[in-house]
Structure 1
Amino acid sequence: MGILDRLFGTRPKSVPETPQIRALIERLLVLSPSLRLADGFRERVTPALTCSIDYVSHLVSELPQAHEASASTWLDDPYIHAFFAAADEVAHILSRSPELHAWFESHSLARETFAVLGMAMTERRVFGVEQVGDTVHADVVRTTLSFDDHQVRVCGETEADLREQIVQRVVEQIALEGLAQISADESRRDALVQERALLKTRLQLLTRHGAGTHKMLGERALSNAAERIELEAAIEANEREIGALGLKTDALAHELDVICDVLSHPERHTNVAMKRYRLNAMNVVIEASATPDGAEIVFPLAQLPASPLVERAFSLVRFARSDLVPLPTILDKDSRFVI
C-alpha cells in the first residue's frame, strides 16, 4: 500500500472472482481448511491468486505448440526426433503411462489427447570427429543431449485445456510452498517451546544447586554464576525467536499472511528456464554459424520443488488413440528385459 493510501485510507480495487480463481480457492481450502476461518480470506487471497495466475499464464503462453508424437513424425519433427531414439519407440514409451490409458478410457469418444511429456535430460561431453573444410579434426569435444524416463501424467481434450491445467497445477504448487513454510514455522515454534522448557528446567536446577552447604561454603560459585548468565541469555534469545513467529492465537492471520505473500511473489517459487539448442540428427549440439545442418528446439527445463537438484525437461505433445498400445502388451514386452 502506498503513502497516499495510508494518508487518505483508500483501499485497493477489488479483484473479481473468475471461475479459475474460484476453483483455485476451493482447492486451497481443501489443502488448508482452516483458512476459511481467517478474516477477509477471499478478499485478500483473490488478488494474490490473480498475481500468480497472470505470471504463470505468461510462462505457459511462451511454451512451444504441441507436437504430434508418432512414428510418422519422428523423422521430420526435430522435437520428436530429439526426445525419442527411434521412431518405433514413440508409441511404445508413451503407452507405458497408466494416466494416458485412464484418460482415453474416461473419454471414449476422443480420437486424440494433448499431454505434458516430462523427461530427464542428460547433457554429456564426448570426444568426436569434426570436419572443417577439407581438414578432419579428431578428439573434438562435443556436447550431446539425451532424454529418458519419459512420463505422461496430465492430459487434456484440447491444447487450450491442457495449458489451463498447467497454470492451475503450477499455481497450486506455489500455494503448497506457502503451506510448507507455515508448517516449518509451526515446527520451529514447537521446537523452540520445548527448548525453552529445557532451559528453564536447567536454570531451576542450577538455582537449587546453589542452596545448602554449596552456597554457604561458596563452592563452584563462580562457575555457577557464569552458567546462570549463559542460560538467562539463551532463554531471552529463545523468547525473541518465539515472539518473531507471532502469537499462537494469531496463527490463522499469520497463515493467511504467508499464503498471500507467496502467491503475490510467484517468481520466487517457480524455477522454469527456457532452453534453446541446435541439434544435428545424432542429438549433438552444434553452432548455427558452424554448419547450416541441424534444427533448433526450444523447451522448458523445470526444477522439482521436492527434489531441488533434479531438473526435468517437458514439452506439449499430441497423441492419437490409434497409436496407443495396450498396457498389458507394453508390460509384457518390458518384462522381457528385466533380469
Structure 2
Amino acid sequence: MLSALIHKVFGAASAQSAAEQQAVDRVVAATDARLSLLPGFRKALLPGIRISRDYAASLVRDLPDPLELSLLAFTLDRRLGLFFSSPASLLAMLMRCETLQDFFHTPSQGDEALALLLMQRTDTQRYGLANRDGEIRSDVAQIVVSFDHHRMMMPCPSIDALRQRATDRGLDVITRVIARRLELLAKERSDLESELTRIRLRLTALVRPDAVLIDAMPADDSLPQDREGLLRRQSSAQERLGEVRSVTELSGLLELVAHMLSHPQDYFRLEQETLKLDRMGVLQAEASDDDCTQVCMEELHLSPGEPVRRVILPVRVCRAALAELTQFVSSENGL
C-alpha cells in the first residue's frame, strides 16, 4: 500500500513536471528557438509558465452557464437572435467548425459538445427614434451593438474538460503575445539601425559636400536637414537602440520572456460585461423594458500594443440539435 501511495504522489508530480517542461519547450519554439542555447533557460522560464497557467485557470474558473445552440433556443432565447441573423447563419457557423464535425464523427465523444464561441463585437453610433418622456424623438444618439466573425473552438465532452483546454489555450495566447512583442522589437531595432546609417550619410554629405554619396532616401524622408537637428536625432536613436539591443540579445530575450510570462495580466485579461440590448441591438441604459435582453459575456482584451477584443461565451450543442437545424434550413431553402 505504501509503495502504491508513493507511486501515486511522485508519479503525479513527475507527470506534472514533464508537462511543465513540454510547456517551456513550446514557448521557446514559438518565441525564439535560440533561447534553448542558453544554460538554465528552463529554470528561468518555469516560474513564469506556472504563473501564466494559474492565471489562465483563474480566468475560466467561473465561466457563465453554456448557451444552448439549437433551433428551439433560437426561438426562445433572444440572445441568439442578437448573435446570429438567422438559424441558417447559426448552422453555417457550426458546419464551418471542423473540430466540431470531427467531435461528432467520433462516437466515443458522446452526443453533446461544450465549446467556446468567439465573436467580434462592434459598437456603432447612430441617431434614431426613441421615447423621451412620452415624446417620440428621431434625433436620439444610440449605440448599436453587433456581433460577427463567429468562430467555435475546443469542443469538449464536459465543462471540466473545456476549462482545462481553455487553461492550456490561455498559455498559448500569452505565448503569441510574447512572440508578437519580440517581432516588433526586432523590427524596431532594424529600423533604428537603418535610421542611424542614413543620419551618418547625411552628416557626411553636410561636412563633405564634394563627396560622392548615393542618396537612396525617399523624397518625404523625415530626417532633419541641418547638422544640429541630425545630431539630436542621432543621439535619441542611439539611446533607444541601446535599450532595444539590451532586450533583443539572447540574455535580454530570456529575461524579457520570463518577465512577460510572470505578468500575464499585463498582456491579456478577461472582463465580464453585461449589455442591455433591445431586439435591434441598441444599447439600453435600463433593462426594465420587456423588449430588452440582458447579455452576460466575457471579453478578451490583449495588451495596448495589440488592441484586440473578442467576446467569449461557453456554448452547448448536441447531435440532434445539429440535425434539426440542418433539416429546418433545408426545408426553408426548398431542398
Q: TM > 0.5 between the two?
A: yes
Contact 1:111–1:321 (8 Å) recurs in 2: yes
Q: 1:228 to 1:311 in 2, by over 3 A?
A: closer
Inter-partner Cα distance in structure 1 for 2:122 and 2:234: 51
Contact 1:273–1:300 (8 Å) recurs in 2: yes
**1:24 pairs with 2:29:** no
Q: 1:153 to 1:43 in 2, by over 3 A?
A: same
1:276 match: 274
2:298 match: 300
Please identify, of 236-245 and 277-286, the stretch whose mean Cα deviation from structure 2 is larger.
277-286
1:139 match: 137
Inter-partner Cα distance in structure 1 for 2:201 and 2:128: 66
Residues 90-169 of structure 1 mapped to structure 2, 5 A cutoff: 90-105=90-105, 109-123=109-123, 127-128=128-129, 137-139=135-137, 141=140, 145-169=145-169
Inter-partner Cα distance in structure 2 for 1:295 and 1:174: 33
SS of equivalent to 1:275? strand
State the Cα deviation string for residues 122-176 of structure 1 (Å, max 9, x = none): 44556446598xxx54237566544343222332232222222222223222222
1:5 match: none
Inter-partner Cα distance in structure 1 for 2:269 and 2:143: 24
Residues 1-339 of structure 1 mapped to structure 2, 5 A cutoff: 21-31=20-30, 32-86=32-86, 90-105=90-105, 109-123=109-123, 127-128=128-129, 137-139=135-137, 141=140, 145-204=145-204, 234-246=233-245, 251-279=249-277, 285-286=283-284, 290-291=288-289, 294-303=292-301, 311-324=309-322
Q: 1:204 to 1:289 in 2, by over 3 A?
A: closer
Q: 1:262 to 1:126 in 2, by over 3 A?
A: same
State the Cα deviation string for residues 17-36 of structure 1 (Å, max 9, x = none): 65653443232122132221
Inter-partner Cα distance in structure 2 for 1:287 and 1:229: 57
The alignment yields a C-alpha RMSD, in angstroms, of 4.3
Query: Where does the alignment leave 5 or more consecutive residues of structure 1 unmatched?
Result: 1-15, 212-225
Inter-partner Cα distance in structure 2 for 1:238 and 1:318: 54
2:3 match: none
Inter-partner Cα distance in structure 1 for 2:188 and 2:280: 52
Inter-partner Cα distance in structure 2 for 1:144 and 1:98: 31
Q: 1:305 to 1:153 in 2, by over 3 A?
A: farther
1:217 match: none
Q: 1:330 to 1:26 in 2, by over 3 A?
A: farther
Inter-partner Cα distance in structure 2 for 1:131 and 1:241: 55
The letter for the 2-side match of 1:33 is A
The letter for the 2-side match of 1:112 is E
Inter-partner Cα distance in structure 1 for 2:303 and 2:232: 37
Aligned-pair distance for 1:64?
0.5
Inter-partner Cα distance in structure 1 for 2:27 and 2:188: 23
The letter for the 2-side match of 1:192 is L
Aligned-pair distance for 1:187?
2.4
SS of equivalent to 2:258? helix
Contact 1:99–1:154 (8 Å) recurs in 2: yes
SS of equivalent to 1:65? coil
State the Cα deviation string for residues 189-237 of structure 1 (Å, max 9, x = none): 23333333444445555555589xxxxxxxxxxxxxx966665555544
Aligned-pair distance for 1:259?
1.0
SS of equivalent to 1:64? coil
Contact 1:114–1:158 (8 Å) recurs in 2: yes
Aligned residues: 303
Inter-partner Cα distance in structure 2 for 1:289 and 1:335: 36
Contact 2:67–2:316 (8 Å) recurs in 1: yes
SS of equivalent to 1:63? coil
SS of equivalent to 2:312? strand
Contact 2:88–2:329 (8 Å) recurs in 1: no
Aligned-pair distance for 1:316?
0.8
Q: 1:97 to 1:330 in 2, by over 3 A?
A: farther
Query: Where does the alignment leave 5 or more consecutive residues of structure 2 unmatched?
Result: 1-14, 212-224
Q: 1:247 to 1:144 in 2, by over 3 A?
A: closer
The letter for the 2-side match of 1:245 is V
Aligned-pair distance for 1:315?
0.9
Which protein is bigger by CA-based radius of gyration? Answer: 1
State the Cα deviation string for residues 282-332 of structure 1 (Å, max 9, x = none): 655556573567553310233467995664322111111233359x99999
